Amino acid sequence: MNRATRYLGLVLALAMAAGGCDESASPERDVGEDEPLRILSLAPNVTEILFAMGQGKRMVGRSTYCKFPPQAARLPAVGDTINMNLEKIVALKPNLALVVTKRDDVVRTLEGLGVHTVALECDTMAELYQTIDTIGRETGAMGPAMNLRDMIRDGLSAVRRRVAGRPRPKVLFAFPMTVGSAKMMVAGRGTFVDELLDVAGAENAYPEAGDWPTITPQQAVAMAPEIVIVNAVGDQAAPDRIEAIRRAWADLKGVPAVVKGRVIVLQDAYLTIPGPGVGLAAERLANVIHGLPGEPGR
């Protein structure tokens, strides 16, 4: 719990810092019209980025999944990219929609409602930096965007320095196995979680490029990870589910991580959200991987 509190504090501090340079930043946006910005954010990480950049107060709507920070959860929700309440969107009168999608019909539909829409991609760290830049440009808040980028860079290099020189264990970052098939999604090479593992002083046990491939337990055995990190969030975070996850992994006796008792079940949603929390995520991963102080091993 104190993790979330700390993260919230960080986001709020950033937001306040950003608020300071807000006035000077506003005129940068060349929209041609003087109407105030009304932002619709359709992705949780974009919402977090907006709040971290002090733009949260300009948000008028959010997706169903944007529940952090708590101020965001109080905004009206308009659904998700599969099922959107378009009438609600028109009612909120946004003039900027930020959406993370590869589907062009989402952009076309929102543009059709007269809302300037920007499609973002956040699968890698490079794309995350680019997303922050784009949001800064679109909201006329380049200053806060640069601050946020620097903050993330600094956070990541601080973690790099802490783990420098330590052995780099093979780590498998997985979501809980699905009930029934025991398959699981893992972080493939090239995802930002893969990059966070690298920053945290580990080698991704999954050897191939790929977004979030689904693997079988046999494949997990074949990869022979020395540490397994399972992130159980949402419904999976219930105590009995976590117990079930531990038991399921304990059965995979061929995995070195199981033999050494290094299957770590975390419950941190921010680990897989490409937003302002990535520095914190890297720190968290480094702590559990290298057993650093400040955080118990499991």
Partner 1 sequence: MPIRPLTFRRYLLAITGWAAVWLVVSAAAVVLGAENIWAWPSWESARTVLGLRLYAVLTASAVGAALALAGLAFQALLRNPLADPFILGVSGGASLGVVLSSLFLSVLAAPLFGFVGALLTVGVVYAVAQRRGRLEPYTLLLSGVIINAFYGAAIMLVTALIDPESRGDVAYWMMGCISTFGARWWLVGVVGGLVVAAAVLFAFLAKGFNLVAVGEDTAGALGVPVDRLRLVTFVAASLVTGASVALAGPIGFVGLICPHLLRMVLGPDHRRLVPATVFLGASLLVVADLATRLLMGLGGQAPPVGVLTAMAGGPFFIYLLRTRWRRKTEIR
Token pair of 155 as six digits:
């956070």
Distance CA 156, CA 172 (A): 20
The two most distant CA atoms of the chain are separated, in Å, by: 64
Task: Give the x-and-dash track for 118-137 against partner 1 (CB under 8 A).
Answer: --------------------
Q: Which stretch binds partner 1 (CB under 8 A): 143-151, 187-195, 206-214, 232-240?
A: 206-214
DSSP 178: P
Residues forming a β-bridge with 118: 98
Q: Which is nearer to partner 1, 5 or 83 (CB)?
A: 83
Please state the closest distance from residue 281 (CB atom) to partner 1, in A.
Answer: 22
Secondary structure class of 215 (helix, strand, coil): strand
Q: Which is nearer to partner 1, 163 or 186 (CB)?
A: 186
Please state the closest distance from residue 120 (CB atom) to partner 1, in A.
Answer: 15
Give buried/exposed letters for 211-247 (b at 16+ CB in 10 A, else e): ebbebebeebeebebbbbbbbbbeebbeeebbebbee
For residues 78 and 63, the answer to whether their CB atoms sit within 8 Å is yes
Q: Which one among 21, 113, 242, 244 touches partner 1, defined by CB under 8 A? A: 113
Distance CA 14, CA 18 (A): 6
- How many chain residues bind partner 1 (CB under 8 A)? 25
Q: Which is nearer to partner 1, 105 or 154 (CB)?
A: 105
Of residues 58-97, which lie at the interface with partner 1 (CB under 8 A)? 77, 79, 82-88, 90-91, 93
Q: Which stretch binds partner 1 (CB under 8 A): 152-160, 209-217, 223-231, 255-263?
A: 209-217
Q: Which one among 212, 233, 248, 295 touches partner 1, defined by CB under 8 A? A: 212
84: number of Cβ within 10 Å: 18
For residues 163 and 74, the answer to whether their CB atoms sit within 8 Å is no
Q: Which one among 24, 26, 178, 214 touches partner 1, defined by CB under 8 A? A: 214
Q: Which one among 33, 34, 74, 102 touches partner 1, defined by CB under 8 A? A: 102
Q: Which one among 28, 57, 111, 114 touches partner 1, defined by CB under 8 A? A: 114
Q: Which is nearer to partner 1, 150 or 211 (CB)?
A: 211
Q: Does 218 bind partner 1 (CB under 8 A)?
A: no
Q: Which is nearer to partner 1, 86 or 126 (CB)?
A: 86
For residues 230 and 176, the answer to whether their CB atoms sit within 8 Å is yes
Nearest to 262 by CA among 230, 240, 236, 237: 230
Task: Give the x-and-dash track for 161-200 against partner 1 (CB under 8 A).
Answer: ------------------------x---------------
Strands 170-174 and 203-204: parallel
For residues 98 and 132, the answer to whether their CB atoms sit within 8 Å is no
Question: Which residues of the shown chain bind partner 1 in the complex (CB under 8 A)?
Answer: 77, 79, 82-88, 90-91, 93, 102-103, 105-106, 108-109, 112-114, 185, 211-212, 214
